[in-house]
Amino acid sequence: MVDVEKLKEIARETVSRDDVKYLIGWRQGTYGFRTAPHFVGTPEEADNLIFSPLCSHNLATYLTLVEKLPVPRGQDPDSRKVALLVKGCDSRAVVQQLIEQGIGRDSVFVIGCPCRGVVDLKKVEAKFPGMREKVSATWGNGTIIFNLPNGNVEVPRQEVLAGKCLTCRYPNPLLSDLNFGEEVAVWGSDDYADVKNLEAGSPQERWSFWEEKFASCMRCYSCRNVCPMCYCEDCVLDRLNPQWVMRSVNTAENTAFHLARAFHLAGRCIECGECERVCPVDIPIMKLNRKLSKEVREKYAFEPGLDPESKPLQASYRPDDKEDFIL
């Protein structure tokens, strides 16, 4: 059982510190099973914090977004820390941002939240359609317990968990200044079965699969905007001179966009699944990202976001790296 009151107490103490600007966590959303990021600036605002199977958002995205505007003339920059609640996959994003120097270690205070898995909102809303009243959820013994208006309903965890959680190898935060709750057992094992199933098809079958998926893309850029590793101030995919990807919304340009983004994330994607979660047309973006993650892991024995003292994949070198795949 998660002691949310203890979490609120930790949050109140954290935001009361002189070296902390605010804390970013989760709160209940406006309806149904929705949750939302919650910025806590005062001890009183901590009363709305939650941590439950509904807290799917990776809040590490905000670390590279907050307060990037120029400081007004006559004002000094606020050098205080941002406190952040992180699950295991979220912490990998923080670690990778530190490795790439996207953020500084002295700019963030990390509160680790061991996680037993978060739900896939689409699966839950399909199981309980038309829910408009606010619903909360808790972890049971291998189950998720939904506190519905007409009573509690217990659902086997495997039926509603997000895909990223079914293969999660790091449910416990890999980096934290303070941990909330006890470590949880690792239940996921990742043999990349989803990627291997796709690899088993012929080139034409694989192309037909992606052609259909990319044809539905609206180029809304939600996948890029939510990604904690897409924090370049000047995205090459937005440039007009030179223009690498046309603004046209068609299969060819959509394919170029997704492939360029996937290769930019090679050796950097921490598999939090946020891109797929926010896609309005349900493109299985993680199949593409996980294909590259599989290649990097198998060929270079490298996983991003595990060690803040390590180097990025493309800045590292080992004499025993495999060479049999090099043409």
In a domain, 320, yes or no: no
In a domain, 326, yes or no: no
Task: Give me the pLDDT at residue 189, please.
Answer: 73
In a domain, 116, yes or no: yes
In a domain, 29, yes or no: yes
Say whether both 59 and 151 belong to one domain.
yes
Cα Dmax for the chain: 63
What is the number of structural domains in the chain? 2
Say whether both 119 and 211 belong to one domain.
no
Say whether both 125 and 210 belong to one domain.
no
Task: Give me the pLDDT at residue 212, please.
Answer: 96
Can you tell me the mean pLDDT for 262-283?
95
Q: Which of 144, 179, 214 is the last residue of a domain?
A: 179
Can you tell me the mean pLDDT for 15-20?
96
Task: Give me the pLDDT at residue 327, please.
Answer: 60
Say whether both 206 and 250 belong to one domain.
yes
What are the tens digits of pLDDT across the range 198-254? 999 999 999 999 999 999 999 999 999 999 999 988 888 888 888 888 888 899 999
Is there a contact between 53 and 137 (Cβ–Cβ < 8 Å)?
Answer: yes
What is the token pair recorded at 119? 């739900």
Say whether both 170 and 201 belong to one domain.
no
pLDDT at 71 over 80: no
Residue 152 CA: distances (Å) to CA of 140, 144, 146, 147, 264: 12, 10, 6, 5, 44
Enclosing domain of residue 231: 193-315
The pTM is what? Answer: 0.92
Q: Pairing relation of β-strands 178-179 and 108-112?
A: parallel
In a domain, 12, yes or no: yes
Amino acid identity, residue 129?
Answer: P
